[in-house]
Structure formats: C-alpha cells, structure tokens
A and B are shown apart, each in its own frame.
Chain A
Amino acid sequence: MANQPTQRVEVAPPPRAGMLQPAAAGLREVNRFARRKPLGAIGGLLVLALVIVAVLAPVLAPYGARDLPDSRQGGSTVYIPPNSQFLLGTDHVGRDVLSRLIYGARISLYVGLGSVLIGITASFIIGVTLTYAGGIIDMSSQRVVDALMALPGLIIALAIVAVLGSSLNNVILAIVIGMIAPVIRTVRSQVLSVKELDYVTAAVAIGAPPWRIVFRHIVPNCLAIYLVLATYYLGFAIIIEASLSFLGVGAPPDQPSWGGMLTRAAQEHVLTAPWVGIFPGVAIFVVVMGFNLLGDALRDVLDPRLRGR
C-alpha cells in the first residue's frame, strides 16, 4: 500500500468549508450554535420571526394599520373582544389590534436597527480612535463620557425629543445619544486590553502606521464585542422607543408603535378591554427577550473570557 504513489496523489486537500460549500458550512455552524446554546437559538428564532413579520407585514396583516374595518356582526367596531374576524380584538378607534401589531414590528425594527447601526458604529469608531490615541485625548474624552453617563438614558431621550419634536427619526437620534457613552466605555475597556497584546506591540515594533494597527489588528479583535453590543442595544432601543411612544412623545399617534398602543386609551380600558393593553406588551416583551437571549449566547460563544457570567 505504501508504495502506491497514485493513491497519495489522489488525496484531495481537506475541503475548506467556507469555500466549497458555504451554505452547508453556515448551516452546520448554526446547528452547532443551537446545540450549545438552546436558549440563544430560541432568541435567534424570535429575532428572525420579528424580521419576517416586519418584512411581510402587508401580506400577513388582515387589515391596514390605520383601517377601520366593518364588523361582520354589524354595530360598533370599537373595543370588539378577540373573535374569528379580529383575532386580537379592536382598539378604542376600531382598528384591528393584530394588524397594528404586525405593522408595529416594522417600527420596532426600523428604530432598533437605525439607532444601533448609527449609534454602535459611531461609538465604536469614536471609542477605538480616542482610546488608541491615549494620553490627554483619552483622558479628556473620558470626562465627557462621564458627564454623558450622568444623564439617564430615558431622561436624555425625553429631553431630546422634547427639543426636536416627536418623529421616528428624532427618536432614533435620541436613542443614539443615550447609548453613546456606555458603548464608548465598553469599547474602551476592550481596546485597552487588546492594545497590550503582544502582536500589537510587534506591529508597533515593525513600524506599522497607526491606521494599520487600528484597522488590521485592533478593530478585528473588537468585532465580537460589536456584535454583542449591537444585539443587546437592539433590545434596549426597542424598549426606549416603546417607552417614549407610550409617554406620547415618540412615534406620532397614527403610527402603530407597540408602545404607543399602550397609552391612555388602553390603560383606562384595561378592565373592559384588556386585549388592547396586553398584546402589545407581549410583543415588546417577546422581542426584547429574544434579543437578550441571543446577545447572551453570542457573548458566551464569542468572548470565552466572559463565559458563564
């Protein structure tokens, strides 16, 4: 056997999973993640469900978000309890709660993604740059972060929306400003620890320019924390948007925001029409739970040092 060279030639190099069958490899990776982190996988499914519902809203929703459909039984369409026509009942104006919930997924996702993409990316870049610069720049920027941290997230968001007026984009801006300080702080601690690693010292020693060190050596090693932060803050953003809309300063009232659906009208009729107040809350809870479960699992998998905490 040993002197049969043809066989040896035929031995193919081990297939590089990512190149030959990317889909299968990806699936295998997802499968492995699901087995190791069942709760994280549930979180991932909930997040996926949110995305699907948001994208397919016009297909899934029986009515439009602002429609006032006629009841099949006739009569008033206000506060109809859940039945075969209105699966989750109707609200104080006579709109279908289920349809509003489905369209509301779009608002939650829009605000969540918008604020996280802008907020985490901006804080990430600022955090990495300032921390890497070090010295007086790092010191003074830390004081600004301290000052920003002193303003509670929801209060600063409220103040910003009060100043700029209530619209979804202003809500995003308000959430972004509320998340900048804590995210910069987390990124900073990560950069500080990566900065001290041997290969960064080596890169400095061979004369690599600062931008190369930051983008080739430091940023890739902070990407795990980027992903984890993004997942957590998506949940955070959705809660803040819901809170602002609940207080009447977030999404405009005709928009089907989950938080907005829980305002006064829902509260005052909590006894006579509990479905109006219960289902939007369930939606917020389930989605935020999904992001947190996913975030926890991602953190465990991507950052072994934090495992089990």
Chain B
Amino acid sequence: MYAYIARRGLLFIPTILLATILVFALFWIVPGDAAMMILTGEEGDGGKVTQADLDNLKRELGLDRPVYIQYGEWLWKILQGDFGDSVWYGTPVLDDLKDRFFITLELSVLAIILAFIAAVPLGVLSAVKQDTFLDHISRLLALVGIALPTFWLGILVIYGLTYLAGWLPPLGYATLWGDPFTNLQQLIFPALVLAFHDMAFTARVARSAMLEVMREDYMRTARSKGLNEWMVVGRHALKNALLPVITVSGYQFGRLLGGTIIIESIFVIPGVGRYLIDAIIHRDFVVVQGVVLLAAAVVLLLNLVIDILYGILDPRIRYS
C-alpha cells in the first residue's frame, strides 16, 4: 500500500513541474513581449518607445536573462506563495484568488453532488433496462446535457425564473457562513445548470460501468441463489460499479472548473471565473497565469487523491 502511494506520489512531482513549464511557456511566447506591451500600454502608442527604454525595462524585469533562469526564479517565487501582483488591480494575485477560489469551489462541489445524485439512478436504470424505451430516453437526455451550451442554459434559467416565477436570486454573493440561506439561493441555480451538463457525462459512465459489472460471474451467482433483482442490482452491481463513477466524477472536476467560469459571468458570482475574464479583458497576464496555474494544481492534486483512494478501495489497482 505505502509503495503504491509513494509511487503515485512520485509521479505527481514531474507532472506538476511540467505543468508549471507549460504555463510559463505560454506566457513567455507572448508576441511582442511583455516589456513592449507595458511601455506601449503606458504611452498609448508604440511610436514614442525608444530602444533604450525597452532595454532598461527589460533589465528591470529580468527579461534579458536566459529563459531557464527566468523560469527558475518564477517557480521559486511561486513555491514561496508569491504569484506576483496584478497589473490591473496592483494587489497580490494569491490574496485575490484565496477568497474567490472558495466561492468557485463551493459552486463546483455543489454541482458535482447534484450531478452525482441525478446521474447514478439514471445510469443504473439505463443499464438495467438496457435497450428499452427508458434506456433510450435516458441516453438521449445525457446527449442533450452534453450538447446544451451551459451559457445558454444559464440564460434560459434566468429567463424562466424572471418570466415564469417573477423572481430572481439576489445578485452578488453572501458567504456560506454569514448568510447560508441567501448563499444557497444564489448558488443553487448556477449549480443546477452546471450539474445538468456534468450529469450527462456521469450518467453515461454509470451506465457503462453497470453494464460491465452485470456481465460478471458473481451477478449470475447472486441471481441463481434466488436474491431478488433489486438486491442483486443494489448490493452486488451498484457497489462495484460506483467506484469508476466516483473516479470519473473526480476527474470531471477540471472540466467543471471551465464551466464554472462561464456560469459565474452569467449569474454575477464573484468567483475565480469572473476574475479570470476581467483579467483577460484588461490583458492582465499575471492574473491569467495565476489562475491557470491554480486550476492545474487543483486538478492534479485531486487526481492524486482519487488515485490513492482508488488504490485503498480497490486492491487490484495497487498491484497492476
């Protein structure tokens, strides 16, 4: 067991290092380079910038040194919790991210839970009643969930709420601890929209996991000893099929983060997503870099935790 955890943990280090290199490289190749952009941004036009100005600023920013030294220094600062200061707001990126990240996390977790609650029964039903009308309907529903753009569903939900119910969730954001009821009112609809999309995928996984398990020998054994069908499905099949479903739900988290960005901008939730979009509009690359890095770190850490849990729950994984 410890050997497995150690092996998996060791794999994590090169992966996250590679991820930081990718993120660094992405912003290193900025056309026209950062120094030029800062100068022309201040002056308003590129004509007045002299070569001397450019060289000075480059030296100031350390952009005249070899790339690997720049990367090393950048990584060293990141490790110390210094993600740099936002060019637009002038505040440290990490401080800004802390509060916003909690909001996005709450929204994502809520969405994952809702998706899971809906997807598992749907997938199980689909597998048990394979190739019946019910199965087709549930598969179609899953396809609809994938094809519906989250932002459009979000708009429709707002439209439906205001037009049909004459009610809109209070705008802005109330903290979970300060005002849990308002908080729930604000987050439940965006979470439902996200969950609908996520449910589609999870239900498909649940269906195929169930189908696989149902072909196992122990299922025939369970039936032949006279257990009733619900016992067979619930106790023997579901228990074994749930593991891959949970895993996939976990891996889905990264995709969910992407969806959250869009949903936050529709429902005016001050999470990481809105922060990122604002940063892109202001061409605030320090912030964009910070958010991408944070997303990568969260996804990789989550994958690590899932893999380790998987190893604990399913001994077959450990030895393969």
Residues of A within 8 A of B (CB): 39, 143-144, 146-156, 158-164, 235, 239, 242-243, 246-249, 259, 262, 266-267, 270-271, 274, 277-278, 280-281, 284-285, 288-289, 292-293, 296, 308-309
Nearest-Cβ distance from residue B138 to partner chain A, whole angstroms:
14
Quick check: is B149 within 8 A (CB to CB) of the other chain? yes
Contact of A144 among B18, B151, B261 (CB under 8 A): B18
Would B266 and A267 count as touching, CB distance under 8 A? yes
Chain B interface size, as a band, is 35 or more
| Contact indicator B155/A266 (Cβ below 8 Å) | yes
Given that A143-B15, A150-B19 are contacting pairs, would A271 and B257 also be in contact in the complex, using a CB cutoff of 8 Å? no
A287 to B, closest residue via Cβ: B147
Q: How far is the CB of A175 from chain B (nearest CB, A)?
A: 13
Instruction: State A44–B67 Cα separation when bound (angstroms).
Output: 49
Instruction: Provide the bound-state CA to CA distance between A47 and B113, in Å.
Output: 34
Say yes or no: B156 contacts A162, CB within 8 Å. Answer: no
| Chain A neighbourhood of B292, CB < 8 A | 151, 155-156, 159
Contact present for A152 and B149 (CB under 8 Å): no
From residue A200, how far is it (CB to closest CB) to chain B in Å? 23
Complex partner residue of A292 from B131, B143, B156, CB under 8 angstroms: B143
The answer to whether A281 and B254 have CB atoms under 8 Å apart is no
Q: Which residues of B contact A164 (CB under 8 A)?
A: 31
Q: Which of B144, B211, B288 contacts A289 (CB 8 A)?
A: B144
**Given the complex of chains A and B, what is the CA–CA distance between A277 and B162 in angstroms?**
15
Interchain residue pairs with CB less than 8 A apart (10): A147-B16, A147-B19, A153-B258, A154-B262, A155-B258, A158-B280, A163-B288, A277-B159, A278-B156, A293-B143
Overall SS of chain A's interface: helix
Question: Which 5 pairs, one residue from A and one from B, show the smallest C-beta to C-beta distance?
Answer: A154-B258, A281-B152, A147-B18, A289-B147, A288-B147
Extra inter-chain contacts (13) besides given A271-B159, A289-B143, CB under 8 Å = A147-B15, A152-B295, A163-B31, A247-B265, A262-B152, A270-B158, A270-B162, A277-B155, A281-B152, A284-B152, A285-B144, A285-B147, A292-B146
B15 contacts A146, C-beta separation under 8 Å: yes
Query: A residues within 8 A CB of B158?
Result: 267, 270
| Residues in B neighbouring A158, C-beta threshold 8 A | 261, 276-277, 280, 288
Contact B151–A151 (Cβ < 8 Å): no
Using Cβ atoms and an 8 Å threshold, which residues of chain B touch A308? 130-131, 211
Bound-state Cα–Cα, A119 to B23, Å: 20
- Which B residues between 169 and 186 are near A, CB-CB below 8 angstroms? none
Q: Beta-carbon contacts of B1-31 to A below 8 Å, as 1s and 0s?
A: 0000000000100111011011100110111
Query: Does the CB pair B26–A155 fall under 8 Å?
Result: no
CB of B190 closer than 8 Å to a CB of A: no
Nearest Cβ on chain A to B165's Cβ, whole angstroms: 13
Tell whether A163 pairs with B257 under 8 Å between CB atoms, given A147-B22, A249-B280, A292-B147: no
Binding site for A on B (CB under 8 A): 11, 14-16, 18-19, 21-23, 26-27, 29-31, 130-131, 140, 143-144, 146-152, 155-156, 158-159, 162-163, 207-208, 211, 254-255, 257-259, 261-262, 265-266, 276-277, 279-281, 283, 285, 288-289, 291-292, 295-297, 299-300, 303
Inter-subunit contact B22/A148 (CB<8 Å): yes
Please, how many angstroms separate the alpha-carbon atoms of A283 and B255 in the complex? 23
B18 touches A243 (CB 8 A): no
Chain A residue nearest to B14 (CB atoms) is: A143
| B26, A163: Cβ atoms closer than 8 Å | yes
**Within the assembled complex, what's the spacing in Å between the Cα atoms of A266 and B156?**
11
- Inter-subunit contact B258/A150 (CB<8 Å): no
A306, chain B: closest CB distance, angstroms: 9
* B18 in contact with A143 (CB, 8 Å): yes
The 8 Å CB contact of A284, one of B149, B262, B276, B277, is B149
Instruction: Decide: A151 and B146 in contact? CB cutoff 8 A.
Output: no
- Whether the pair B15, A163 counts as a contact (CB closer than 8 A) is no
A163, A274, A289: residue with the most chain B Cβ atoms closer than 10 Å: A163
Given contacts A150-B296, A153-B255, contact A162 B280 (CB under 8 A): yes
A281-B152, A284-B152, A296-B143 known; A247-B258 Cβ under 8 A: no
Given A162-B283, A270-B158, A152-B266 contact (CB < 8 Å): no
B19 touches A262 (CB 8 A): no
